[in-house]
Structure 1
């Protein structure tokens, strides 16, 4: 068991070190599960996530759910979650398109300062499971709805890009010149940006394989999950492009997980996992590496 845990921890360290430019975080979860017979169970829990190189609490929240298992190989579930999320400063490149020629030209930047937003989430799901020897293979399909509450943030708008000649002319005329991202602008405006409420629908598909170690209550597993936004239709883009947002941008995120669960007397379950998020959705942009620590009390 110690050797297996060492291998898991070693894999986490290697994978985390391989992408130093990406974000890194620690996710924590504490939950409880109550079984009613062999088919029905209720569960709930709280979570906290620490990201931005583990310097900020980026999410806090709680969840409740119910699971019904009519057969050994199939179970259904539904649940609700409340989350308070931190949104990092966001920089959007702005472009203007000529109505006659269709030519797109750079017009400036919108910089939205970081802020927090409450979210309400509902989901339904089905999980199919196949046991082969001591291996278990499962496929989970989840339909998820999230309501984002409205909020406000400070926004800076840079407009009127200037070249060196235009910059010198502005300065000669006594007009202000602003610099951002090594570029010059003739206009800078600070405003309160209203973040309107929005609704998002996602399909989240997860394939997982786990192994039941004989004589040891330790179950290692690995999984891959794809989150796909239904609001934007089906597409293949995984990264946001400010020039094309609203047309071809399609939020999509992959999540790769490797970890293990250790259960004591079928009641106390401890979890340790390495998680890698790749891609973009309405919650995150860019790549994230995280260590997931969890505990669940079952009775």
Structure 2
């Protein structure tokens, strides 16, 4: 079932990608996770993204936040992000964002399933953009092993003037999470982002450290 879902989604990605112009980019991120107690953790991240067929930097980013484990099934999160974006012609700008959300997750044998709902607001030179992000993630998570392949689909809905349930952006993301050591995790992925009029092919690497 998981294999068929991934195949169907990948076929949809290819069909969508052929219908519009696309950019080839990279995303690189370092994530930090400090566990205060059994329920509460504080988070941090540094990020670099490229654009224009990897020809220039798109943005630098820094993030801080926290997670609270309500139960074995439910987790809440809250955070802040600061982006330094490249507008071209040597012009850069800062953009601020906060987010809050909840993730429901469960596991059945080798299949790990999670559904995340996240509200975010972005402040950009006097303009405010509000969006709801819905992400479904399926992962092969064996009890023994260091590699966990996964597939996720995330839909962005605009909460400004656009009609509700009209997707402003969609991301399809297959990847692999690899336990490098006791505290280190490597996430390598490909992501196709559909957003009219220009889509993105994204190759990404995320390194996570827990302490």
Tell whether the structures are fold-level matches, with TM greater than 0.5.
Answer: yes
How do 1:47-86 and structure 2 match up within 5 A? 47-86=47-86
User: Where does structure 1 lack aligned partners over 5 or more consecutive residues?
Assistant: 1-10, 89-112, 150-196, 239-251
Partner SS, residue 145 of structure 2: coil
Verify: 1:226 aligned to 2:162, yes or no.
no
Give the conservation status (yes or no) of the 8 Å contact 2:158–2:166.
Answer: no
CA displacement, residues 155-187 of structure 1 (integer Å, 9 cap, x when unaligned): xxxxxxxxxxxxxxxxxxxxxxxxxxxxxxxxx
- The one of the two structures with greater contact order (alpha-carbon pairs below 8 A, sep at least 6) is 2
Tell me the CA shift for residue 211 of structure 1: 1.1
| Aligned counterpart for 1:269 among listed residues 185, 189, 202 | 185
Match of 1:140 in 2: 116
Match of 1:296 in 2: 208
Q: How many residues align?
A: 197
RMSD: 2.2
Tell me the CA shift for residue 202 of structure 1: 0.5
Q: Partners in 1 of 2:193 and 2:139 — Cα distance?
A: 20
CA displacement, residues 36-56 of structure 1 (integer Å, 9 cap, x when unaligned): 222111110100001110001
How do 1:101-120 and structure 2 match up within 5 A? 115-120=91-96
Verify: 1:38 aligned to 2:14, yes or no.
no
Q: Partners in 2 of 1:46 and 1:257 — Cα distance?
A: 20
Give the conservation status (yes or no) of the 8 Å contact 2:26–2:54.
Answer: yes
How do 1:108-257 and structure 2 match up within 5 A? 115-149=91-125, 197-235=126-164, 252-257=168-173
Match of 2:4 in 1: none
Does 212-221 or 118-127 show the bigger shift? 212-221
CA displacement, residues 227-270 of structure 1 (integer Å, 9 cap, x when unaligned): 111111425666xxxxxxxxxxxxx0001100011113330011
User: Where does structure 2 lack aligned partners over 5 or more consecutive residues?
Assistant: 1-9
Distance 1:48 1:141, change over 3 A: same
Tell me the CA shift for residue 146 of structure 1: 0.6
Tell me the CA shift for residue 132 of structure 1: 1.0
| Aligned counterpart for 2:199 among listed residues 287, 290, 297 | 287
Partner SS, residue 60 of structure 2: strand
Q: Partners in 1 of 2:37 and 2:175 — Cα distance?
A: 29
Q: Partners in 2 of 1:47 and 1:222 — Cα distance?
A: 21
The TM-score with structure 1 as length reference comes to 0.61
More strand, by proportion: 2
Whose radius of gyration is greater, 1 or 2? 1
Distance 1:22 1:132, change over 3 A: same
Q: Partners in 2 of 1:279 and 1:45 — Cα distance?
A: 25
Give the conservation status (yes or no) of the 8 Å contact 2:157–2:165.
Answer: no
